[in-house]
A = this chain, B = another copy of it.
Amino acid sequence: MKIKYDLIHKDKNSEARLGVIHTNYGSYETPMFMPVGTQATVKTLSPEELKDVKAGIILSNTYHLWLRPGEDVIDKAGGLHKFMNWDGPILTDSGGFQVFSLAKPKDITEEGVKFKNQYNGDNLLLTPEKSIEIQNKLDSDIAMSFDECVGFPHTREYVEKSVERTLRWAKRGKDVFNNPRQSLFGIVQGAEYEDLRKHCVEELVKMDFDGYSIGGTAVGEPKDIQYLQVEYSTKYLPKDKVRYLMGVGDPIDIIENVIRGVDIFDCVSPTRLARHGHALTKFGKINLKNAKYKMDFTPIDESCDCYSCKHYTKAYIKHLLNAEETFGARLLSIHNIRYLIHLTEELREAIKEDRTLEFREEFIKNYYGEHHE
């Protein structure tokens, strides 16, 4: 079935929205953070561990799965859910973000994007049609339109042309889309130009997508620009459709963008931070490789309900990291993902009580307080 979004309550003092998204695999409250399973696995974690941290939708990457193991392997396996043993909803990106970071500007044409396979050097072409074809085969619950992701900085002139191309590509993808149990999102581009964002939204809405993503973020732009990009998109997006902000997972950014009306987030940061020994806490990020944790026999966060905090100490996790044992990254991944999901739970409570702005103030005070490393 197509996803359905119900707006439950809008914060009286901001654009923050409490909602529910109904999917092929159950209903989930928003705002929501989606863990990223790039290669059909959320790094170091099992599906049971994802359930345990209360993950709803997870994200997987079309680009990576296209190259390895190939969409036909996953199709023959019975789709991505069966392949990776995940009986919750899956959203796939379009591959656009990945190929743009690999392609040279001259390789971006009206047809699509040319680039080299990073594993064997083969010449490849990803088009709007091909991206949708792959995603149809992966059989995710939510697919993304293939868009042009413009970096930062950029010229207004380039962004103008790029928005038009993104709109033509959205149309081409929608025309070949043929998986009835899958939903398709359009992606709003237009950088930090309000009129271009507005125009992009209006044209996408005419095509009537099942939900809308906000793109062109997480490409190195300053925070204030990111927040403007979001504001200029949500301002014009329909209230009855879900909004997904791509690639954003910093705790402060989640809060700021929830306040600007975003419903869904994803980011590789919780697992990437984990591999580097970092834990997210309400008092900011801490680095467990730091010598001061050698004899610290307390959990990362006494009040956290995750498996790692219930059973393991900072001293043990520090030891695992020093000894290069993967169980260390696993324990930190569990904690960091749970941290972001718990943050969205707190935001949902705050929205319900119209105190999202106060929540932000309190959160920032702790996060950037004296404990911050």
Contacts and interface: CB of A to CB of B under 8 A. Distances in A.
B41 A77 contact: no
Contact of A73 (B41, B43, B77, B295): B295
Contacts of A318: 69
B295 A76 contact: yes
A27 interface: no
A44 B311 CA distance: 16
Contacts of A326: 43-44, 326, 329-330
Interface in A311-332: 311-313, 315-316, 318-320, 322-323, 325-327, 329-330
Interface string A8-30: 00000000000000000000000
A368 interface: no
Nearest to A67: B323
Contact of A323 (B39, B311, B325): B39
Contacts of A69: 294, 315, 318-319, 322
A68 interface: yes
Interface residues of A, number: 35
Contacts of A329: 326
Contacts of A76: 295, 297
A110 to B, nearest CB: 32
Given A69-B315, A294-B69, A312-B85, A325 B77 contact: no
A125 interface: no
A44 B43 CA distance: 12
A315 B73 contact: yes
A7 interface: no
Contacts of A46: 327, 330
A43 B77 contact: no
Interface in A279-329: 294-295, 297, 311-313, 315-316, 318-320, 322-323, 325-327, 329
A83 B316 contact: yes
A59 to B, nearest CB: 15
Contacts of A44: 326-327, 330
A154 to B, nearest CB: 33
Interface in A63-88: 64, 68-69, 73, 76-78, 83-85
Contact of A319 (B43, B73, B312, B320): B73
Contacts of A45: 327
A78 B64 CA distance: 45
A184 interface: no
B43 A294 contact: no
5 contacts: A69-B315, A69-B319, A77-B313, A83-B315, A83-B319
Among all A-B residue pairs, the 10 with the closest Cβ atoms: A69-B319, A39-B323, A41-B327, A85-B311, A326-B326, A41-B325, A44-B326, A77-B297, A68-B323, A83-B316
Given A44-B326, A77-B315, A85-B312, 11 more contacts: A39-B319, A39-B325, A41-B320, A43-B326, A45-B327, A46-B330, A64-B323, A69-B315, A69-B319, A77-B297, A85-B316
